[in-house]
Chains A and B, each alone.
Chain A
Amino acid sequence: MRYLYLSILSLLYCSSVISAEVSEFTLDNGLRLIVKEDHRAPVVVSQVWYKVGASYEKEGKTGLSHMLEHMMFKGTQKYSPGEFSRIMAENGARENAFTGSDYTAYFQTIEKSRLHLSFELEADRMRHLVLVEAEFLKERQVVTEERRRRTEDKPINQLYEHFIATAYQTSPYHHPIIGWMSDIQNYTLSDLQSWYQRWYAPNNAIVVVVGDVDASEVFALAKKHFGPLKPNILTLPVHRPEVTQLGIKHITVNLPAKVPYLIMGYKTPVLKQLSQENHYEAYALEVLAYILDGGDSARLSKNLIRGQQIASSLSTSYDPFSPFTELFTFSGIPTNTHTVVDLENALRAQIQNLQTTLVDIAELERVKTQLRASQIYELDSLFYQGMKIGMLETVGLDWHLFETYLDNIKAITPEQVQIVARKYLIDKNLTIGILKPGTQK
């Protein structure tokens, strides 16, 4: 499945009942607050985003941000381990947290009059976490179980991990978000302590609130709970850039799997790295992804799943809003009568077609209509509306980008799609990963 990065509704397309009012505040200590009012139900989503994730980590300490995410539920000076979750449960909140390459985020969905609980407890653990050895040792076991469940015992995920580590040689994206198993087993409590002290501060956090609230009241509430927290002096890591790839890379993973799997990834630029006059490239790549994989009528489904019946499933992925060089990937499972080589050749033919023949205006129109509809559909999810804001802001992009997203997509021409296909979807940028089912032990 592609992850859809879509824009917040622009007024042009909405009926008068919808308002997408977004308010922004910055506290004196540097904490940013972004509030989007949505009054459909008496519910609010509160998300605290920290600008730290796997791409900030050093060799030997991979996965530390994720480990810390787990420890954030293990008590503060004021609350005992697990009490955060107990208080949330007793108040009917759904809560969890997630770690990405470029962020760590904590969230609660809660009946609106209880937002203060969320703010109070999040503010408390932003600066007053108490890390205890005994809790850490137990939770590390939990994280190793998580890694076994997510990666070790899932052949496709194992391939993906090896594929990513092959494609990205020097980039911070080389390492898995959850960390290598040996790193997880080697962290010390002081590693966590210093990681927490370094990154968990109001001036490294963005609070996103979406729901049935009044923005100015939320601001007052944020001032009350987050306002007293002291900021940090932040020293950002120097992100090592990816070395220029000099040729095609191949990796084969042999595992006791039952079906083969292919993943192809081309290094592509992202909006943040492109100069103003080349911004279109990121949007053209986004359009290209939709031409290939935006729905059942898109080319990969139509030509390779239904037409030639080479693949039983296929998907593409590209994120124009990633902070660093991004992989444009194609992945899938061949049908029983075809091999991964057949599938690779068929995907290459699809790419070649994009390089030699201009895409149809009708295909572009289809993408635009789909994205316009998606912008409305996604307003049905408070959580997703918050996600979009948080994901952009944590990588230093302005959430307003979503307001211009659709216009930028609409401006893309068939020629521009061809240009990016010719410029980036080439062997020099390519890494191919293959999962080869082995015999069972």
Chain B
Amino acid sequence: MKILSFIILVFSSPIFAIPTIQHWQTDNGAAVYFVPAPDLPMVNIEVVFDAGSARDGEKSGLATLTNALLSEGAGGKSADDIAEHFDNLGAEIGNSVDSDMATLTLRCLTESQLLKPALNMLALLLLKPDFDAKSFKRVQQQMLVKLQYQQQSPSAISKQAFYQAIYGTHPYAQLPEGNAESVAALKRQEVKDFYTRYYVANNAVITIVGALKRVDAEKIAQQLVKQLPSGTSAPDLPPVVALTQAKKIHIDHPSTQNHILIGQAGIARGDPDHFTLYVGNYILGGSGLVSQLAEEVRENRGLAYSIYSYFSPRRVSGPFIAGLETRNDQTNEAVHVVQDIMQKFIATQLSEDTLKKAKQGITGMFPLRIKSNKNIIGYLSVIGFYRLPLDYLQTFNDHVEAVTVEMIQDAFQRTLQLDKLVIVTVGGS
């Protein structure tokens, strides 16, 4: 404890205003998270639904196609009308889907003659998407071309094989983009049904960062979803079943490098070990050129340009991934080096000095996490969607400081089973 308080005293970053998150619910049940940012006359808005690819069921790619079609026709306005509407206002509309979240984003200036019509259109997209046959077919075809394109990328191929290997029959096994067969088989009615089930107020989180007063933010949130049915939130996802044995998968590809992914399922958002594993992984493979993996694989051996590891916490156990790319004939060496480092990392307690420097780096970087509206809304959506504590940012550095070398070793030993790792290599053999 003495050492700990010393560290806090000397290395915690200077005091400054960390954004206070304001939180409320719309009348029909959507959760709203707001941070005022008065300096720039603009606003970022994200509407997030628990409608990611984990909700695809057997119809892989459905969540992505549904989300993509929202801006391709709504309330009788064509895709052309919608695009023109936003472009003429200088507003930027975006959409994205990962395993958990389906998101629609808007960035707009706060001048009311621009913001009002932009919000009206955004509300229309959320409430009355047309899912017309022509747009459906076109976007489906675009997804298929993208999937074809990915088959020329060893990186994309390795990712797909890796997720399938670590998640088996769990919904996380399929990536948001789906696969050629599943996407080709999607039906318009399935998109409509998916939208009706998941794009409801009780399944929505709205985040807002911008030069607005609270009262205006309230009005905006209300306006965006007021006509959406309340509905019910998405059901719990099944737990991830741990692997019973190690798996080695090689896929031949006409490339000069092997793309290597090593890992297994990790932790969920809000896991009590989150900060401990975050700090530990920072040392292992999460701190760029100075991580243990980078020092050995890149700096000492010159085996790879990019080498990293990370935990990606999700609604249920997200993956732990260590990755790199290396010349085909060095693949075995690289895999062994990474495994050795992970083995040592887990078997040997870190030195106090190593931990001290890592904490210094992480806490010292804190101001960078919230330096822009874009950064802040990123945190806001994660905090809102996963129901993390509202003081997540305020207590971030305290959680980091509380981590000890014993905690790191213990958490890594409990979380990662090194005898049951999945190792995917894609490239020339």
Contact = CB atoms under 8 A, between A and B. Distances in A.
Given A153-B256, A335-B145, A376 B290 contact: no
Given A259-B145, A259-B152, A306-B80, A14 B41 contact: yes
Contacts of A90: 357, 360-361, 364
Nearest to B93: A296
B196 interface: no
Given A82-B289, A153-B257, A312-B142, A111 B92 contact: no
A17 B110 CA distance: 14
B363 interface: yes
A366 B87 contact: yes
Contact of B290 (A86, A154, A155, A374): A86
B267 interface: no
B255 A152 contact: yes
A345 interface: no
Interface in B90-109: 90-93, 107-109
Contacts of B389: none
A114 B363 CA distance: 13
A301 B71 CA distance: 14
B305 A146 contact: yes
B363 to A, nearest CB: 7
Nearest to A39: B39
Given A145-B257, A374-B90, A42 B304 contact: no
A240 interface: no
Interface string A78-102: 0001100110011111100000000
A113 B15 CA distance: 12
A298 to B, nearest CB: 7
Contact of B303 (A141, A146, A382): A141
Contact of B87 (A148, A294, A372): A294
A302 interface: yes
A206 interface: no
Contacts of A148: 255-257, 325, 327
Interface in B316-330: 325-327
A236 interface: no
Contacts of B371: 40-41, 43, 109, 382
A349 interface: no
Interface string B129-165: 0000000001001101110110111100000000000
A18 B370 CA distance: 18
Contact of A145 (B289, B327, B362, B373): B327
Given A92-B362, A155-B152, A294-B87, A85 B255 contact: no
B138 A109 contact: no
Contact of B39 (A18, A93, A109): A18
A94 B368 contact: yes
B91 A373 contact: yes
A179 to B, nearest CB: 14
Given A145-B257, A377-B92, A82 B367 contact: no
Contact of A381 (B71, B142, B326, B372): B372
Interface in B272-315: 287-290, 295, 298-306
A91 B290 CA distance: 12
A89 B148 CA distance: 40
A90, A294, A336, most chain B CB atoms within 10 A: A90
Contact of A92 (B303, B363, B373): B363
A221 interface: no
B39 A149 contact: no
Contacts of B306: 149
B366 A142 contact: no
Interface centre among B38, B86, B325, B365, by most chain A C-beta atoms within 10 angstroms, is B365
Contacts of B288: 85, 89
Contacts of A110: 368
Interface residues of B, number: 74
B289 A312 contact: no
B87 A296 contact: yes
A234 to B, nearest CB: 31
Interface in B367-418: 367-368, 370-374
Interface in A236-267: 256-259
A207 B18 CA distance: 29
Contacts of A276: none
Nearest to B255: A153
Contacts of A295: 83, 86-87
B41 A15 contact: yes
B89 interface: yes
Contacts of A257: 152
Contacts of B146: 312
A384 B374 CA distance: 13
Contacts of B86: 295-297
A82 to B, nearest CB: 6
Nearest to A91: B364
B79 interface: yes
A380 B372 contact: yes
Contacts of A379: 40
Contacts of A259: 145, 148-149, 152
Given A85-B288, A155-B152, A92 B370 contact: no
A92 B92 contact: no
Interface in A259-294: 259, 294
Interface string B14-26: 1010000000000
B13 interface: yes
B88 interface: yes
Interface string A368-390: 01111110110111100000000
B7 interface: no
A109 B372 CA distance: 13
A99 B354 CA distance: 32
B145 A336 contact: yes
B246 interface: no
B75 interface: no
A124 interface: no
Given A18-B39, A82-B289, A257-B152, A301 B305 contact: no
B84 interface: yes
Given A306-B138, A336-B141, A380 B41 contact: no
A377 B107 contact: yes
Contacts of A137: 302
B427 to A, nearest CB: 8
A311 B369 CA distance: 38
B104 to A, nearest CB: 14
B350 interface: no
B145 A333 contact: yes
Nearest to A112: B367
Contacts of A14: 41
A61 to B, nearest CB: 21
B121 interface: no
B367 A43 contact: yes
Contacts of B80: 297, 302, 306
19 contacts: A15-B41, A89-B357, A91-B361, A92-B360, A92-B367, A109-B371, A111-B366, A138-B299, A140-B302, A141-B302, A142-B305, A256-B254, A301-B83, A312-B141, A336-B144, A336-B145, A369-B88, A373-B42, A380-B42
Given A306-B138, A373-B90, 7 more contacts: A40-B40, A40-B371, A43-B368, A90-B361, A145-B257, A153-B255, A380-B40
Interface of B: 13-14, 16, 37-42, 71, 79-80, 83-84, 86-93, 107-109, 114, 138, 141-142, 144-146, 148-149, 151-154, 254-257, 287-290, 295, 298-306, 325-327, 357, 360-368, 370-374
